[in-house]
Structure 1
Amino acid sequence: MASERIFTMADVAESRDEVAVKTLFAAHEHTNSVVWSVKPGQEVACHKHTTSDDIWIVLQGSGLFHPEPGQDVRVGAGQVIVNPAGTCHGLTNDGDEDIVFVGVIAPVPSDFVAL
């Protein structure tokens, strides 16, 4: 049904004061879709996926994207970040509002390599 393919991020996103939170909202044979909530001062640590692409769609807020450890690129709502397999990606919220972004990763299953 169509209702199983349409999601409202405000209804599925979770957040915590301690750490950034990733919430899985759709899992399929070839892709997983998550929504991240990153509060001010929180981060998504730099990492890579050996064989999967990870696309981030920023819905709210702004912060620093890390294309490599120690590198910073300002990103914000309305931007899409394409992270091909094997490339570093991370994010720090240095602002005063939550960053909310959707991540779509394929193919799955995917690994996680901390950098």
Structure 2
Amino acid sequence: MQRFVGTDSVHTSAAACDYLERRLTADDGVVAVAASDEPTEERDRQEALNAFRVRPAGVASVETELRGGDAAAEIRAAAEERGAEEVVVGPHRGDPDVDAAPGGTLVDLLGSATRPVTVLPSA
């Protein structure tokens, strides 16, 4: 199975790895994508992707991709390009101290979902 993660922070990446490690098999692949239209956020996005270099363990392949542009649009496009069977995302920006309201990226993804979207629990 091809699992796809949209991430924006190390917090979201860690939660995604926790979620995936309980579900992945040696035949599964993981693609993690971080996107932003703000150049100042590129470092945070790259750190979020770095978590996937060491986790999850024991899967067939792990790929990461840093994209520029609107996060929801880029996650949606990348999932479509790669034929993702599931999209895993956090509930809001990666800061665990943010209120519990769904974030704009999540709302946009759910509003145009063409494949299952799994929302990770808040930290």
TM-score by length of 2: 0.27
Normalising by structure 1, we get a TM-score of 0.29
Higher relative helix content = 2
